[in-house]
Structure 1
Amino acid sequence: MASPTPWRCGVLTVSDRCSRGEAEDTSGKNLQDLLNEGKLLNAQVVSSSCVPDELTAIKKILLQWCDDGLQLIITTGGTGFAPRDVTPEAVKQVSESCLSCLSLLKPLDRFLVTPWCAIVMPLLGIFLVADLRGPRNSVQFICKRFLSACLPHALQVLTQQNTHVDATHKQLQSQGVQHQHSQHQHHCHHHHNHHHSSKADVSRVSRRARKSPYPMISVEEAQKMVLTNAERCNTKMVPMAEALGSVLAQDVYAKDALPPFPASIKDGYAVLAADGAGLRTVAGDSTAGAGPNERKVTAGVCVRVNTGAPVPPGADAVVQVEDTELTIEEDDGRIEREIRILRAPTAGQDIRPTGCDIKAGQCILSLDTRLGPAELGLLAAVGVVQVSVYEAPTIAVLSTGNELQEPGEDLREGHIRDSNKTTLMALIKQSGFQAVDSGIAQDQPSVLLEALRLALARSDILVTTGSVSMGERDILRPVLQADLNATIHFAQVFMKPGKPTTFATCTYEGRKKLILGLPGNPVSATVTAHLYLIPAARKMAGRTDYMNTTVRAKLGSEFRIDPRPEYHRCTLHWSTGEDLPTAQSTGNQLSSRLLSCASAQALLKLPHAQEERTTLPQGHIVEAILL
């Protein structure tokens, strides 16, 4: 029997650095080898390319390959959370114009038993696109574990090879449970490599601690511990246009002076100041953007200039057009031949000397400067297109709890929707950091351990919610200590809300990781994220102003205070003639009531109650941490 015709494939690498030749495209080459050697499927790579992380460039290649009749396109790179990771969006736009494509976005572990279940909709188009993450090891793992089983069947469906499709379906139906077993055996080495049994024994429920074994510390002590461990990330060179919000890792010096020539401040005429007022012959003009002007200004002669234009040789002043009048014109007003200077100029008038703004070689931005719009403009003005900055930490967010389910699911009995992950990821992104959704882990040691390992592998900071109190299912700390050899720095803070907040560090895959275990109640998680998580991330990104701004505010009403210092959600209002804002409570401060955070502008730092003081009167002045 003749061998089947190989599938026509294309491999597209999406990477700014690889496209510029600054890094080797190992992922793309690895994919080509896997395909051409028949390790994935019977395929032949007929096209390959490497493009920058630009929507237009990616779409152009995809559409071109579609027109060339390729049946399978595999992309690698550009699928993360950074602003320039636009590969999925490019594929989406192209697939819409080509009717349809196969989506391979579900977690891979769901396909270990029957990988063909990935194909959940009819394929009406004429090509198939699979997006893969960039690193070489990730690409090889995904290909061998999943795509090698899924893609052949997907392509058969795509090209309407109904005989093969029917045979596959009959095979699945006939194997039933046995098929699941054989598939599990086929993948058992992956389970051994990637799934771990926890050493934490939480089965002796009746012997669990009834009181926290950890000392109670103040918020200030807790913040100091977190920030001491929040070490700056490594540095990297980035294009100036991509550096917004980053912190400089070294001083930046101007390549050129600004202005690079004597420049006119006004629209007018370049003159000799010694000539004073009176008539001048107009010898020509000098406009912004023009090359060197050969015309020289001499006694009785002037040159018309625009704002920003080079001042011609010989001139030592510029007279604005408003201080002149026309005396002779030619060519029906197209040429000025003579003007009258109405007001005598002074030497240096309305001229910016060379380097008056920035001198060549001058330090224009110092180490630790955070780059905003004005700073990027400065870099552009002096021709600095690459800068050394601190990398920003990646933050993984993991929710824990048997009762939790994703927001988009129909509510099941005894369950609640997970709002913590949505809230924290939004806060992280709003603060300028990359957030990784690590899902929901059940309160089982081995399940939690696996989720922790996956999250730690993808992040610098791991923030969890839930599983830190004194309940029988609060198992985060035992798992961290028994399985990850983590150091628990604190696990009890004198504050409301957020008392059981836990902070730990561990070394994972040779790198130090920060772990913040936040309480499961939504308000507690939100408040403690503002107090610990965001300042730590800012410091790791190189910022020196990592703490939130604190102002003083007057209470708009009487406040009852708690035995613990409270971080009360409030709004701030400025009244005419008042030197301080007035703080109004956002209502019921129950730690489960996320509504109290919905309109909050600040956290009021209320002192703890004492025997002689259980309330604070209206007008009392307290500190307010701006959100």
Structure 2
Amino acid sequence: MSKFRVSVLTVSDTAAQDASKDQSGPAISSLLTASGRFDVEDAQIISDDEIAIQSVVRRWSSPEARIDWIITTGGTGFGVRDKTPEAVSNLIERHASGLVHMLLSASLQKTPFAGLGRPVAGTIKDTLIVTLPGSVKAVKESLEALLGEKVIDHALELIRGGSGATLHQELVSFSTDHQHAYQHAHGHHRGNHSHDHHVPRLPTTLSHNPSLAPTARHRISPYKLTPFDDAMQMIFSILKPLPLEKKLVGPSLKGYVLAEDVYAPNNVPVTKTTSVDGYALRSTDRSGIYKVVTSATHDAAGSLPEGVIYRINTGGPLPRGADTVIMVEDTKLVQTVKGTNGMDEEELEVETLVELPLGENVRDPGSDVKAGDLVLKRGEILHSTGGEIGTLTFVGRAEVQTVRKPTVAILSTGNELVDLQKPVYIEKDGWGGIFDTNRPSLQAALEGLGYDVYDIGIVGDDIQSHVKAIKLGLERADVLLTTGGTSMGASDLLKPVIERHFNGTIHFGRVKAKPGKPTTFATIPANGGGDIKTLFALPGNPASAIVTFHVFVVPALRWLGGWPLGSCQFPRVRVTLEDAMRLDHRVEFHRVVIKVTPNGLRAYSTGGQRSSRVASLSGANGLVVLPEMTDGKPDVLERGSSVQAMIIGELQML
């Protein structure tokens, strides 16, 4: 059975003005996608306006849109601006009062305030529409009720014109399998004739319950294996750029993105200036001997006397009356002024050897930039190469509006880890532990890219330590970057803690990429739900951690910092392989050294690509992007093959 097509509409005056305030819309999209049964075709944010709501719903429910299910979030309470139920009710052709009752019943089990909700459900032509509350917590509870026993799937198949038989059989199998799992986990079995039949609902929290014994943990990951391209699309669709802030113009601006157009406030240069070192004079002056004055002996605002030339340095303003500049090389020293010690101290007379036309070596006012010229556009990246920061300084801008750059907190998880600088060795079975490679490597990479880093340290394999560390990271930073604890071990606690202790949403928990299959991307509500913080949990193996950092985390940091979408990922170029490379059923990022040769870019493998072999990244400046292996086609790219590679460092010359 094909996936159901869903569109999600967030109704909120606040989120319509600042999309980063929308938490519920992304949560709905993530939960539906994670289930593997739905494709979110569109997601929009509009204000609490009845006509606007109806306009979007009409378009999505038209036969041309082919949307199976429309979900709205927000505007269902008793607020003055809450108009979603009224807007939707007037469009519904068949009301689904049973679904409304289910939503209210499920919510009332959590809080009596659910009685103030006004959900609406029904069909418009061949599209089901359900209105949900605006809070993330209520949205998750509502979806748990709707998705738990595939009630909504059954409804959607019937609306499509199906019999519902397939889903009914799936539901029976689902109930039976989960009944057995439930009984096994709780250590009891009932006879075949028992009437005490328990069918747990499909949870929206997918992680295992770490409070149970290790024997109850998942043996197969509950997280969908997300294709690489889909994972990147999730990151860019769920995350929103951070708020704007004023920044002083200076070296610290590198890596920021302009949030305003910058216009030159004045002409540059303001007055006539020289482009060379030499002497300012009149174009009517003939070759000959002239007395020399300087800025110390002559006010440039005063007219330059006849028979006198004005010594001037590059960029200096011409004195009044001068209209051309002769270079030092075209003059000869004639006489000097001697000091009290009898040594030559200053020029007195100079002979000019050539005659110059009007305006020679002179920059006119506004010849570089005229007042009012647009010198930098909103959205431009202020690179570390200095050109943009130099331009801002050149036109006299001392302060500019920018998109705030994210700060990053880092931590490593694992009782086996030892801090190199503060070693506390593990004395067990003659084993001293493993030095934590990931934090120093990631901090170096982050700071090299211009991000402020807060190091939380090594976190032990217990829930209390995880909760404390994540809470600290959420307080100190915009993005929390962790390594380890993302796989299937009994002590892998990150996913459970994210979901169960911080009400976080895991958008993907596994990726179809090598290395980095357990890479996890999540968002967590913070500051009372007013903000959303980002979390990336990377694999613990050092090479995997660094590769996934460059592939997933750097694009996310740039996107949060306002970088244009096309610039967020590292650039890709075509390279020629100098070593054969075997393909995998996943997209693979093979560590290489890329060198510039007379015959183009050549990629040299760094050797064994085992995830724990961090030495394979020493000197690596690129990642060859190996495509997924296709059945029936060669499983090796031979030497000389042309492939795409991601540039993550400076190119080398052969």
TM-score band (shorter)? 0.5 to 0.7
Return closer, same or farther for 1:235/1:289 CA change in 2, 3 Å cut-off.
farther
Whole-angstrom CA distance in 2 between matches of 1:477 and 1:603: 28
1:558 aligns with 2:580: yes
State how far apart, in whole Å, the 2-side matches of 1:269 and 1:363 are. Answer: 34
- Measured after TM superposition, the shift of residue 619 of structure 1 is 0.4
**Alpha-carbon deviations, 1:85-138, whole Å to 9, x = none?**
xxxxxxxxxxxxxxxxxxxxxxxxxxxxxxxxxxxxxxxxxxxxxxxxxxxxxx
Q: Counterparts of 1:267 and 1:506 in 2: how far apart (Å)?
A: 61
Distance 1:474 1:290, change over 3 A: farther
Look up the match of 1:239. Answer: 248
Counterpart secondary structure, 1:426: helix
Aligned to 1:616: 637
**Residue 471 of structure 1 pairs with residue 489 of structure 2:** yes
The residue number in structure 2 matching 1:412 is 427
Unaligned runs of 5+ in 2: 1-206, 649-654
Aligned equivalents of 2:551 and 2:568: distance in 1?
11
Between 357-366 and 433-442, the greater mean CA deviation after superposition: 357-366
Query: Relative to structure 1, is the Cα distance of residues 327 and 471 closer, same or farther in structure 2, using a 3 angstrom cutoff?
Result: closer
- The amino acid that maps onto 2:315 is G
Tell me what 1:221 maps to. Answer: 230
SS of match in other structure, 1:357: coil
CA distance in 2, matches of 1:378, 1:227: 30
Match of 1:350 among 348, 361, 367: 361
**What SS does the aligned partner of 1:378 have?**
helix
- Report matched runs for 1:424-573 at 5 Å: 424-509=442-527, 510-544=530-564, 545-573=567-595
Write the deviation string for residues 493-531 of structure 1: whole angstroms up to 9, x where unpaired. 111111111111121123201111111211111111111
TM-score, normalization by structure 2:
0.60
Match of 1:205 among 192, 207, 214: 214
1:625 and 2:632 correspond: no
How far does the alpha carbon of each residue in 1:238-260 deviate from its partner, in whole angstroms, 9 at most, with x for none? 33235331332223333443222
Could you say which residue in structure 2 is the equivalent of 1:396?
409
Distance 1:451 1:243 in 2: 29
- Structure 2 CA distance for aligned equivalents of residues 338 and 325 of structure 1: 6
- Letter in structure 1 aligned against 2:569: M
2:599 corresponds, among 561, 569, 578, to 578
In structure 2, what is the Cα distance between the partners aligned to 1:327 and 1:441?
78
Q: Do structure 1's residue 593 and structure 2's residue 601 form an aligned pair?
A: no
Aligned amino acid, residue 249 of structure 2: M
Q: Indicate conservation of the 8 Å contact 1:199/1:482, yes or no.
A: no
* Structure 1 contact 392–433 (Cα < 8 Å) conserved: yes
Question: Partners of 2:269 and 2:563 in 1: how far apart?
Answer: 31
Q: 1:596 to 1:346 in 2, by over 3 A?
A: same
Q: CA deviation at 1:201?
A: 4.4
Offset at 1:278? 4.1
Query: Is 1:263 aligned to residue 273 of structure 2?
Result: yes
Residues 205 and 303 of structure 1, relative CA distance in 2, 3 Å threshold: closer
Correspondence 1:103-118 to 2 at 5 A = none
Distance 2:486 2:584 in 1: 22
Aligned counterparts, 1:41-440, within 5 A: 200-241=209-250, 243-245=252-254, 246-274=256-284, 277-279=286-288, 282=290, 284-287=292-295, 291-296=299-304, 302-324=309-331, 336=348, 339=351, 341-371=352-382, 372=384, 373-407=386-420, 408-413=423-428, 415-440=433-458
Q: Distance in 1 between matches of 2:347 and 2:412?
A: 75
Which amino acid letter does the alignment assign opposite residue 618 of structure 1? R
Asked if 2 retains the 8 angstrom alpha-carbon contact of 1:287 and 1:309, the reply is no
Alpha-carbon separation, structure 2, partners of 1:557 and 1:338: 68
Tell me the distance in 1 between the aligned counterparts of 2:335 and 2:543. Answer: 78
The verdict on how the C-alpha distance between 1:268 and 1:582 changes in structure 2, with shifts beyond 3 A counting, is closer
> Residues 553 and 273 of structure 1: is their aligned pair in 2 closer, same or farther, counting only changes over 3 Å?
same
Matched-pair contact (CA < 8 Å) for 2:438–2:483: yes
- 1:494 aligned counterpart, secondary structure: strand
- 2:268–2:369 Cα contact (<8 Å) kept: yes
Pairwise CA distance, 1:202: 4.3
Aligned equivalents of 1:423 and 1:412: distance in 2? 26
Residue aligned with 1:530, SS: helix
TM-score w.r.t. the length of structure 1 is 0.62
**3-state SS of paired residue (1:260):** coil
Q: 3-state SS of the aligned residue for 2:568?
A: coil
* Distance of 1:528 and 1:563 partners within structure 2: 18
Question: Could you say which residue in structure 2 is the equivalent of 1:127?
Answer: none
Structure 2 counterpart SS, 1:573:
strand
325 and 482 in structure 1: CA distance in 2 versus 1, 3 angstrom threshold: closer
Following the alignment from structure 1 to structure 2, what is the Cα–Cα distance between the partners of residues 502 and 338?
75
Structure 1 contact 270–312 (Cα < 8 Å) conserved: yes
Partner secondary structure for residue 322 of structure 2: coil
In 2, are the aligned partners of 1:502 and 1:517 still within 8 Å (CA)? yes
CA distance in 2, matches of 1:506, 1:201: 19
Q: Structure 1 CA distance, aligned partners of 2:505 and 2:331? A: 78
CA distance change for structure 1 residues 516 and 296 in 2, over 3 Å: closer, same or farther?
A: same
Instruction: Provide the aligned C-alpha RMSD in A.
Output: 2.9
